[in-house]
Structure 1
Amino acid sequence: MSAPQPADAVVIGGGVIGAAIAYHLGLSGLGRVVLCDQGRTAAQGATSRSGGLLRLHHTASPDIALTARSLPVFENWAEVIGGDCGYRRTGFVMLVGEQHTDALRENCERVGAFAGHRRSEVIGTDDVRTLYPGLSVEGVGAAAYEPEGGYADPAATAGALFTAARRLGVSPSEGVRAERVVERSGAVTGVQTSIGLIESPLVILASGAWGSAPAAHLGIQIPVIARRIGLAQASLPGAGRRGSPVSVPTCVDDTTGGYFRPEGLDRFYFGVPSNPDVRLDHDVAPLTPQEVDAAVAAISRRVPAAAKAPLVGTRSGLDGYTPDRRPVVGAAGPEGLYLALGFSGGGFKLAPAVAELAVREITEGGAVIGKAAQELLEPYRPQRFLGGRPIVPEAPYDHM
């Protein structure tokens, strides 16, 4: 067997982040780009288990700024990327307890400051019921509404990016495990994989729950913890139809710590908290009936019709979480190593902006990318944990 061909860049990880970075590298004309994934792209990690929520409302300004840059890409996907990402505008609602009313208002004001004409506005609970009759607002102290919020299909999004990247000449390598980054004299020379050494002066780790493991021998120790994540789907005719008695928005409910959204007109997705203990390189256990039942009980407090909605499927997978629950993006260690990992359950909605800015930084350099653009990535640098500079929400809630 011949050794793999050399590359100008190797991207490790075939989820939505890796696919977006590979696409932008192809767009940049850098040269031969290889995208490696140990399974099938967008099949085993967090992407295909993501809820796909698209919202601007966050409790930390850096997250608002990046999502404000990403949302227009989802809205205009066919023109910008090509294909279909499954974007649907349902409206987004953020629900909090009475104790967080002031924080909610403060975060809505930040959305206006960072997202310009886009709105996240505080509305009354009566308004919530009028907009979405399927919601119960019992125990809700305050709500924020984003008319332009919604969701997209994470697997379709990654697939469209993957297809667009291939059109640009990106070479996929599925079923290829990255074992270790190789360096010489302080510079990356390639990555040792399960099929041999791929020589390359640039390696981007977008490896999700697997974190920075391929670079650990180089002293790169990013605190990323692998966690099991879960998602369930139920049949709920009318869930996505405005005016229906059971219609619901795309929603994050801080009073219960849950999230949910419609899927099309007749289905309903919701997150399932699960036993987080996992062992990497082993099959992820399916969600148990007990886990799903507990999630249904919690969700039914907010969406009463969910209590009797027939389940049609569940998913479980892995994601990587950092101590401050924000991603790590930037250069680390030897020249030519770049990290984009640890997205902590929130990577999907950030992917277009993170990939665009990261590739510009890699190919153009900090002096060219511009101060304003570089400042968007600055809070997420790998060195923040060593320097004691975690990202701290300005106006936090119980679960955000």
Structure 2
Amino acid sequence: MSLTADVIIIGGGVIGSSINYYLSKRGQRVIQLERNYFNSGASGSCDTMIAPNTKEPNEHLQLALYSVELYKTLSQELGRDIEYEKKGSLLLIENEDELHIMEGIVKKQNALGLNSRIIDVDETMYLQPGLNRDAIVGASYSEVDADVNPFRLNLAFADKAVSLGAKVFTHEAAQEILLRNGAVAGVKTNRDTYYAPIVINAAGSWAPIVGKMVGLNIPIKPRRGQTVITEAVPPFVHKLVNNARYIVGKHHPEMLKNNHSLKAQMGIAISLVQSKKGNIEFGNSREFVGYDTGNTYLCLRELLKNATRIIPGLKNLNIIRTMGGLRPYPPDSKPLIGFVNGVPGFFLAAGHEGDGICLSPVTGKLVSDLIVDGKTDVPAAPGFDPNRFDLF
């Protein structure tokens, strides 16, 4: 027998599950559909970072800072240990040009409320021993940044939503979005048909495919990231570690434009974390290769060269596996969150790129606010309106 709800969510990643929880918390009857199983997309092939320090000083950073506040009590709220831990993060600065740009970025971050600062080489190495002193000139440091277990997080959101009355169906692929007089009426899957006046597209990199079901051209592209995971070892990574080059490149793309190295072409950076069990994860790449999630020899070689150049001690560790995943990349690097003009009842919540874990709590709250109240106290929310793009 087909079910009726207030809202249907397409997508079982951390964004869809967070939305499910926050809507269920507000008393909405929710159905969540996932074509495979939880964490089968970006949420299961990502790092663990909650890192406002890596965000551009605009609406993106404001959203991240709001999410950080929600994270502080989330384990207690969900009734499960999501392995949230405040560690602080380092953006490693490799030359004087990067340093000059990062000084300006940090001032803008501070103005928006992030307590970040530029530190010298000695302090950088004190906070993260084992760095190659000759590879860096300093770092940007933020002590509020943290990490979390993405698998535990996603399941905690979904399970808590179910305890509040939500219905979750895995291995059910959306095949058709039903319309009545041009407005959303429900979703037909490979198993059943479900009815609701609101459908949320939280399908991540696959959001454009879902969008085509209602005639939309959603400007999100899958961008592959390749990652290396080592054996479990004693504490080795004490902070979240990233390259400043990534945020510098967003502000001054001309610095990377004429760099024709394989590292530049593949978007190689260091993104270094260590799990509670002791496994070290580092990467990653930024490659537009369609929906190919495979690992490649060339990319992994460049990842290893870059990582061991910066942290030579990684050479002594055994690699147990590699992985590839797709991040939903929007043209302006900001997620698309809101109702779509022209298709009443169709809501888009996708395009978080590599920030889905960091932004999942605030996205869930923002979506529930907009659907239940028609407004929100989340700062800069209009900046994520999907109608900033021509979707038809």
**1:37 aligned onto 2:27:** no
Report SS of the residue matched to 2:97.
helix
- Code of the residue aligned with 1:153 in structure 2: it is N
**1:263 aligned onto 2:272:** no
Aligned residue runs from structure 1 range 16-165, under 5 A: 16-30=14-28, 32-42=29-39, 44-57=40-53, 58-96=55-93, 97-115=95-113, 119-165=115-161
Unaligned runs of 5+ in 1: 241-245, 388-400
- Decide whether the 8 Å contact of 2:186 with 2:193 is kept in 1: yes
- Decide whether the 8 Å contact of 1:74 with 1:85 is kept in 2: no
**1:273 aligned onto 2:285:** yes
- Decide whether the 8 Å contact of 1:94 with 1:254 is kept in 2: yes
- Decide whether the 8 Å contact of 2:10 with 2:199 is kept in 1: yes
**1:382 aligned onto 2:355:** no
Aligned residue runs from structure 1 range 284-299, under 5 A: 285-299=293-307
- Structure 1, residues 165-203: CA drift from partner, whole Å, max 9, x if none? 111111111001112322222321111221232111010
Bigger drift between 6-15 and 131-140 goes to 131-140
Report SS of the residue matched to 1:300.
helix
- Decide whether the 8 Å contact of 1:328 with 1:342 is kept in 2: yes
Report SS of the residue matched to 2:153.
helix
- Structure 1, residues 66-100: CA drift from partner, whole Å, max 9, x if none? 11111123232222332121112222001233213
Looking at structure 2, the residues matched to 293 and 209 of structure 1 have their Cα atoms a distance apart, in angstroms, of 26
For 2:330, which of 316, 322, 328 is the aligned residue?
322
Looking at structure 2, the residues matched to 288 and 216 of structure 1 have their Cα atoms a distance apart, in angstroms, of 31
Deviation at 1:270, TM superposition (A): 0.6
- Code of the residue aligned with 2:183 in structure 1: it is A
For 2:308, which of 285, 292, 300 is the aligned residue?
300
Specify the alignment match of 1:243 in structure 2. none
- Decide whether the 8 Å contact of 1:56 with 1:120 is kept in 2: no
- Decide whether the 8 Å contact of 1:46 with 1:317 is kept in 2: yes
- Code of the residue aligned with 2:324 in structure 1: it is S
For 2:370, which of 361, 366, 373 is the aligned residue?
361
- Decide whether the 8 Å contact of 1:205 with 1:212 is kept in 2: no
For 2:221, which of 220, 225, 234 is the aligned residue?
225
Bigger drift between 288-297 and 187-196 goes to 288-297
Looking at structure 1, the residues matched to 83 and 337 of structure 2 have their Cα atoms a distance apart, in angstroms, of 26
For 1:234, which of 206, 230, 237 is the aligned residue?
230
Residues 1:328 and 1:157: Cα distance change in structure 2 (over 3 Å): same
- Structure 1, residues 41-65: CA drift from partner, whole Å, max 9, x if none? 22x1000111021112222311111
Specify the alignment match of 1:250 in structure 2. 240
- Code of the residue aligned with 1:340 in structure 2: it is A
Looking at structure 2, the residues matched to 219 and 40 of structure 1 have their Cα atoms a distance apart, in angstroms, of 27
Deviation at 1:290, TM superposition (A): 4.2
Deviation at 1:13, TM superposition (A): 0.3
Report SS of the residue matched to 1:357.
helix
Looking at structure 1, the residues matched to 366 and 43 of structure 2 have their Cα atoms a distance apart, in angstroms, of 20
- Decide whether the 8 Å contact of 1:274 with 1:291 is kept in 2: no
Deviation at 1:274, TM superposition (A): 6.9
For 2:162, which of 163, 166, 172 is the aligned residue?
166
Looking at structure 2, the residues matched to 211 and 141 of structure 1 have their Cα atoms a distance apart, in angstroms, of 41
Looking at structure 2, the residues matched to 288 and 101 of structure 1 have their Cα atoms a distance apart, in angstroms, of 32
Looking at structure 1, the residues matched to 189 and 202 of structure 2 have their Cα atoms a distance apart, in angstroms, of 15
- Structure 1, residues 99-124: CA drift from partner, whole Å, max 9, x if none? 13233223323333333xx5211111
Looking at structure 2, the residues matched to 188 and 274 of structure 1 have their Cα atoms a distance apart, in angstroms, of 35
Report SS of the residue matched to 1:59.
coil
- Code of the residue aligned with 2:87 in structure 1: it is T
Q: Normalization by structure 2: what TM-score?
A: 0.87
- Code of the residue aligned with 2:386 in structure 1: it is P
Deviation at 1:271, TM superposition (A): 1.8
Aligned residues: 366
Bigger drift between 316-325 and 13-22 goes to 316-325
Deviation at 1:247, TM superposition (A): 4.2
Residues 1:54 and 1:215: Cα distance change in structure 2 (over 3 Å): closer
- Decide whether the 8 Å contact of 2:295 with 2:323 is kept in 1: yes
- Decide whether the 8 Å contact of 1:24 with 1:359 is kept in 2: yes
Report SS of the residue matched to 1:234.
strand
- Decide whether the 8 Å contact of 1:209 with 1:342 is kept in 2: yes
Identity %: 24
- Decide whether the 8 Å contact of 1:274 with 1:287 is kept in 2: no
- Decide whether the 8 Å contact of 1:236 with 1:309 is kept in 2: no
Residues 1:293 and 1:308: Cα distance change in structure 2 (over 3 Å): farther
Looking at structure 2, the residues matched to 346 and 384 of structure 1 have their Cα atoms a distance apart, in angstroms, of 20
- Decide whether the 8 Å contact of 1:100 with 1:141 is kept in 2: no
Unaligned runs of 5+ in 2: 246-267
Residues 1:90 and 1:318: Cα distance change in structure 2 (over 3 Å): same
